[in-house]
Amino acid sequence: MKRIKLKSLLRWLIVFAVFGIGYGVFWWVRTRWIPAGFVGVIYDASGGLQQKVYPPSAVTVGWRQQLYTYPTKLQAAIYTQDPDAGEERTADGILVTTNDNASTIFDVAVFYHVEPKDVFKAFDAFGPIPIEDIQALHIRRAVKEAANAVGTQYDLFELMGPKRQIAGEQMRKELQDRLSRKGITIDNAMLGSCYPSPEIQGKITSRVNSYVELEISILKRQIAEIERQIAIVRYHK
């Protein structure tokens, strides 16, 4: 009788051990981590999006479920022609058309994040795709549209220099209007280096030279006026 009880107990111990190991393996394989500065939501292929926002933590995801994370900390979306920089590691600048019909590529930097309360709004807008794809596709498209909406208010010379900061702030507002309803908060936007064509570069150089010549001419007139006044003072002495 004791031997039967011991065998039965041993059998149950083996069952519980196998179950525990199986659950441990399942937990390990299906565990996903939400890093600091992010929140997550789980999409179920059968039931749709779960109405819960998960803070940074370890989350167990079922077989037909997928975890999507959204950054609550500041993110930089860099679109640049420098193939060694930016997110794509390839020439990825933004082509901007100005009001003098010049189409020129600019580096653009956009800083954004997603508020926890806007996570469901972002998911509704972009669907079950990761934030990397949202940034590479949807945010980039919005940046291109906003940059060209602002670019047509300036000529290229202004956009390259004195009006660049103002244009960047206008672009931030444009992007905020376009993306806030989709759950993306735009914190800042900046125009960086530009890459004019040789023809446009020649026009810019010519314009700069003309400006320098004008300044030199004004300076010469001022010097001549000062010399004239000095001569009058000396004459009266």
**pLDDT tens per residue, range 144-203:** 999 999 999 998 888 888 888 999 999 999 999 999 999 999 999 999 888 877 666 656
Q: Give the residue among 201, 68, 199 at the shortest CA–CA distance from 124.
A: 68
Angle at 29 between CA 28 and CA 30, to 5 degrees: 95
* 70 contacts 131 by C-beta, under 8 angstroms: yes
Place of tokens 């003309």: 210
CA 201 to chain centroid, in Å, comes to: 28
Predicted model pTM: 0.71
- Is the pLDDT reported for residue 65 higher than 80? yes
* 52 contacts 89 by C-beta, under 8 angstroms: no
Q: Give the residue among 40, 179, 159 at the shortest CA–CA distance from 112.
A: 179
What CATH number does the domain located at 2-71 have? 2.30.30
Q: Give the residue among 196, 188, 108 at the shortest CA–CA distance from 144.
A: 108
For residue 46, the model assigns a pLDDT of 84
CA atoms within 13 A on the CB side of 191: 29
The values of phi and psi at residue 32, to 5°, are -120, 145
Mean pLDDT of 71-97: 79
Lowest mean pLDDT among 111-115, 206-210, 215-219: 206-210
Q: Which two tokens stand for residue 124?
A: 């509704």
For residue 5, the model assigns a pLDDT of 57
Q: What is the pLDDT of residues 9-56, one digit of tens each?
A: 556 555 555 554 544 444 455 688 899 999 999 998 888 899 999 999
CA distance 113 to 108: 17
For the chain, the helix, strand and coil percentages under 3-state DSSP, each to the nearest 5: 50, 25, 25
| Number of neighbouring beta carbons within 10 Å of residue 77 | 20
Burial 218-236 (b: 16+ CB within 10 A, else e): eeeeeeeeeeeeeeeeeee
According to CATH, the superfamily of the domain at 75-196 is Band 7 domain (3.30.479.30)
For residue 160, the model assigns a pLDDT of 82
> What amino acid is encoded at 12 in this protein?
W
